[in-house]
Structure 1
Amino acid sequence: MSVAMDNARKVADAVLYEGYLLYPYRASAAKNRVRWQFGVLVPPAYTATSEPSSSVTECLLDGAANALVRLRLRFLHVKERRVERADGGGFVPVDRLDTGERSHLTFDEATEREVEHVLAMPALLGVERTVTVRVPGDRSEEAVLSGAGEPLGRVVCEHRPLHAVLDVTAEAGAGPHGLVKLRVRTRNLTGWTGDGTRDQALRRSLVAAHLLIGVTAGRFLSLSDPPEWARPAARGCVNENTWPVLVAGPGGRDAVLSSPIILYDHPRVAPESPGDLCDATEIDELLHLRTRTLTEEEKREAAATDPRAAEIVRLAGELPPEMMERLHGVMRHEPATPWWDPAADAAVSPDTDTVTVAGVEVAKGSRVRLTPGRRRADAHDMFLAGRTARVEAVLSDVDGAPHLAVTLEEDPGADLHRSHGRYLYFAPDEVEPLAEPSGKGSA
């Protein structure tokens, strides 16, 4: 298990339990009547809803032609929890059974499942490999007794067997950069008779399904903000019912989380968060305060609803004041060099970088004539056309396109603008290189 994959687990766990159970964490709450909203892959024969039975992840790697690819499929396996009351010589299903100190509710839970497989990239190039995933079913019973030890009923918990596959292939890209496009299709192949409710279909589904993908060599490229040379390839990646993002930590490139919910690259869980509230789109402080206001009967129902709900109620009640204060707000210090400062990127150097214009290398200190193009919409540009300027820096925008920062030669305030970094900006095709005036620099 790689360090990058371990670091990604906290974020992946938040995805796994996103929407698992919502405040007020009770089975009777309207918002918990229709569950499992994200990353649901239903049996292919189930068509009562528009939920898919498969997902497709496509991502780009650079320099990974000989890497090992670690695939980790993670999902929730719904476990039916059925409460039955003793009735003569048999049992009758009921919604609730109270024993005085404890309540038992009919309400489905879920079990984490994780399957890992390692494949060699050379064995994937141009070939589709299929990884089979089978999860067996199981069944357990727990007797429900009265305070006097008399049998009142039972709680039956059952997992249905699941059958899924991962279809994995890779495609080597053209060009000098050695790009590889990795494609993973996750398919639920579990059987379905065509009858039954969505709740029954969910017991045969992969819920909150997502992939963690790591490599031992090379690096993943961001699909939301790829380098300029990789943009055409990034646009060619097709992702269905999933959203792959870099997740190896700031600057890391050796792990991707293919998530059923939209995330930015390098997401992270706030270190101040004391526990999993199953609702990552809410505010921890607000949820803890609300949970503290539940009545004793509501807390009892929440505790009977699900073990995770019971833990949330316990945590909210025991959270010390200093922990609650941490949830109220936090000051995060920005890095010494902000992200928008060119000094934050060692790959660029505005003082020494060059750009070729009409066959001439233009850099800081070069003389140019301004020729604003037709794409300019500012009327002020007509007053700049034909004027001469000094290049102060060669910069790149967020898309990697070059721009020239200049000051006008005849501007008496040029020194002041230079000291404050107040420049005019032009694209390379909006200037003409000029030679230095004859005699410049002579005694």
Structure 2
Amino acid sequence: MNAFPADIETGFAAARQIADAVLLEGYVLYPYRASAAKNRLRWQFGVLVPPEYGEVGGEHVQQRTECVMEPRHDDRLAVELRFLRPQRRTVERSTPAGGYEPVERLELADRVLVPWDEGVEERIELLVPIGELAGNGVLRGFRLPAAAEMELIRENGVALGRVLRRREQIDGLLRLTTEDLPGPYRAQRLTVVVENASTWTPAPDARREDALPRSLVSTHLLIGLEHGWFQSVTDPPEWARAAVDRCRNEHTWPVLAGPNGGRRVMLSSPIILEDHPQIAPESPGTLYDSTEIDEILALRTAALTDHEKREARGTDERAGAVIDLADSMPPEVLERLHGAVRGLREITGASPEAEQPWWDPGNDSAVDPERDRVVIDGRSVGAGSRVLLRPGRRRTDAQDLFLHGRTGMVEAVLHDVDGSVHLAVTVEGDPGADLWRAQGRFRYFQPDEVTPLGDPLPERGPRAGHGPLEGVAPGEGIASGEIG
């Protein structure tokens, strides 16, 4: 393993907190027990399988990262490949004859041990001069040999069983190349390819579970320059935009991750992140739960029964740490998770209109959904009008087809950003209509999908405005049917 220069190591150390979150994203999900259905399909992010299984299993064999960088003279590039290596754990119980037999669970006083795939963190480090990356670049192979371990399980001095752990051999490749970019700046396009090169030949009936022990899981990269810097792939300067647009990233996404907003470190992640992502400072620890919400997870974990907590502790050491964290969290720490204000801005003196986006109905004083009207079959229709519903087949859903021939009450006339008109309607005879109305939830139809009922109302003329559809953000499609 290479010892990175101090400047690079400082940048990597600051980025590893985020990198660890990527590494363990969804590692074990609440309620943190192997028996939970959502913990039976494991390893969802950054999985690189052996090539022969990739051909039949449809999973990825490699990741490709491309970004624009500006190295300095005699600069060096550091790469830290990080991933989890699945480790298959089996559980055996002691027999009266002095041997062992496989079991599905082994009951202990503080935990319940079960078979499980653990994740062992692996790192492959590389430090190369920038000049060596031109042309054919650098190809670096690595091998993780197979290994097996045995742990005796004793309780009160009595051998109750043992845990066997086995890791399969994994071979991999790292390819690094650079390409000089035209322009006034000394910029280059960096390409880093991570590939699973294991020679395992799967059986015809091989399943994903068979390939995982020979796979790289949660694969991601930390990339650093000793003196130069990288350009953002989402917000590059204008001179670099065309070059960034031509970068090809496959099954990963690079973001700036240097400390204090710096640009010397890139994190290439299988999970889409923004530049300079951060862990909330209020978070008391790693909960391993995808898109985790710390407060509710901590409360729910603390509410597990003692038996459920024993199962979680026996599922994985990391799950056991979550149980201990939830049980020992002081009230002031839990209260801190309830919410945080990241920033305040002064709005005194600013006009309300200046704060409203262009698509907000409040930004157009001519828009009034409760008073606007539209002419249908020579009749003025608006809030309070009764209509016969005739949903159109081409732009409706199956639920609305059941409303054909029913009557409804128009609650509002809405105008989309493209000038289309929509009628917000509650269905007459619906026992939940009052509740829906109170919540502002309606069914939406276009004018040619309704027929006015009753006497014609006073004509106010159709609205020819161009205000947006109230309650719907730009780009959100509308068909006749419920929105909510």
The TM-score with structure 2 as length reference comes to 0.67
Please show how residues 35-50 of structure 1 align to structure 2 within 5 Å: 35-47=42-54, 48-50=56-58
1:84 deviation in Å? 1.8
1:169 aligns with 2:169: no
Partner of residue 449, structure 2:
none
Query: What is the rounded CA distance, in whole Å, between the counterparts of 1:155 and 1:63 in structure 2?
Result: 49
Query: What is the rounded CA distance, in whole Å, between the counterparts of 1:11 and 1:101 in structure 2?
Result: 32
Q: Judge conservation of contact 1:82–1:106 (CA < 8 Å) in 2.
A: yes
Partner of residue 203, structure 1:
213
Kindly tell me: are residues 174 and 216 of structure 1, through their superposed partners in 2, closer, same or farther at Cα, counting changes over 3 Å?
A: same
Please show how residues 70-85 of structure 1 align to structure 2 within 5 Å: 70-85=78-93
1:26 deviation in Å? 0.5
Query: What is the rounded CA distance, in whole Å, between the counterparts of 1:323 and 1:120 in structure 2?
Result: 46
Match of 1:60 among 58, 68, 71: 68
Please show how residues 263-282 of structure 1 align to structure 2 within 5 Å: 263-282=273-292
1:66-112 CA-to-partner distances (Å, cap 9, x unmatched) read 32000000000111110123454653322111245542211111111
Please show how residues 30-179 of structure 1 align to structure 2 within 5 Å: 30-47=37-54, 48-64=56-72, 66-87=74-95, 88=97, 90-145=99-154, 147=156, 149=158, 151-179=159-187
Partner of 2:17, secondary structure, is helix
Partner of residue 244, structure 1:
254
Partner of residue 193, structure 1:
201
1:329 deviation in Å? 1.1
Q: Judge conservation of contact 2:82–2:220 (CA < 8 Å) in 1.
A: yes
Partner of residue 326, structure 2:
316
Query: What is the rounded CA distance, in whole Å, between the counterparts of 1:153 and 1:4 in structure 2?
Result: 45
Matched letter for residue 21 of structure 1: V
Mean alpha-carbon deviation: is it higher for 237-246 or for 278-287? Answer: 278-287
Query: What is the rounded CA distance, in whole Å, between the counterparts of 2:327 and 2:91 in structure 1?
Result: 28
Query: What is the rounded CA distance, in whole Å, between the counterparts of 1:41 and 1:148 in structure 2?
Result: 43
Partner of residue 370, structure 2:
none
Q: Judge conservation of contact 1:14–1:280 (CA < 8 Å) in 2.
A: no
Match of 1:216 among 221, 226, 233: 226
Q: Judge conservation of contact 2:30–2:297 (CA < 8 Å) in 1.
A: yes
Matched letter for residue 129 of structure 1: V
Match of 1:289 among 299, 302, 310: 299
Partner of 2:52, secondary structure, is coil
Partner of 2:190, secondary structure, is strand
Query: What is the rounded CA distance, in whole Å, between the counterparts of 2:248 and 2:28 in structure 1?
Result: 31
Aligned alpha-carbon RMSD (Å):
1.9
1:330 aligns with 2:340: yes
Partner of residue 3, structure 1:
10
Query: What is the rounded CA distance, in whole Å, between the counterparts of 1:102 and 1:63 in structure 2?
Result: 52
Query: What is the rounded CA distance, in whole Å, between the counterparts of 1:238 and 1:65 in structure 2?
Result: 26
1:137 deviation in Å? 2.3
1:280-321 CA-to-partner distances (Å, cap 9, x unmatched) read 512111110110111111011000000000000000010000
Q: Judge conservation of contact 2:138–2:176 (CA < 8 Å) in 1.
A: yes
Query: What is the rounded CA distance, in whole Å, between the counterparts of 1:335 and 1:172 in structure 2?
Result: 44
Partner of residue 412, structure 1:
none
Query: What is the rounded CA distance, in whole Å, between the counterparts of 2:328 and 2:185 in structure 1?
Result: 55
Query: What is the rounded CA distance, in whole Å, between the counterparts of 2:313 and 2:111 in structure 1?
Result: 9
Please show how residues 415-426 of structure 1 align to structure 2 within 5 Å: none
Q: Which runs of 5+ in 2 are unaligned?
A: 1-7, 347-417, 419-484
Question: Structure 1 vs Structure 2: percent identity of aligned residues?
Answer: 47
Q: Judge conservation of contact 1:54–1:185 (CA < 8 Å) in 2.
A: yes
1:279 deviation in Å? 2.1
1:256 deviation in Å? 0.1
Partner of 1:267, secondary structure, is coil
Query: What is the rounded CA distance, in whole Å, between the counterparts of 1:222 and 1:277 in structure 2?
Result: 29
1:243-288 CA-to-partner distances (Å, cap 9, x unmatched) read 0000003431100000001000110111111100112512111110
Please show how residues 333-372 of structure 1 align to structure 2 within 5 Å: 333=343
Q: Judge conservation of contact 1:277–1:284 (CA < 8 Å) in 2.
A: yes
1:131 deviation in Å? 1.3
1:331 deviation in Å? 1.9
1:13 deviation in Å? 0.3
Query: What is the rounded CA distance, in whole Å, between the counterparts of 1:327 and 1:60 in structure 2?
Result: 38
Q: Judge conservation of contact 1:99–1:147 (CA < 8 Å) in 2.
A: no
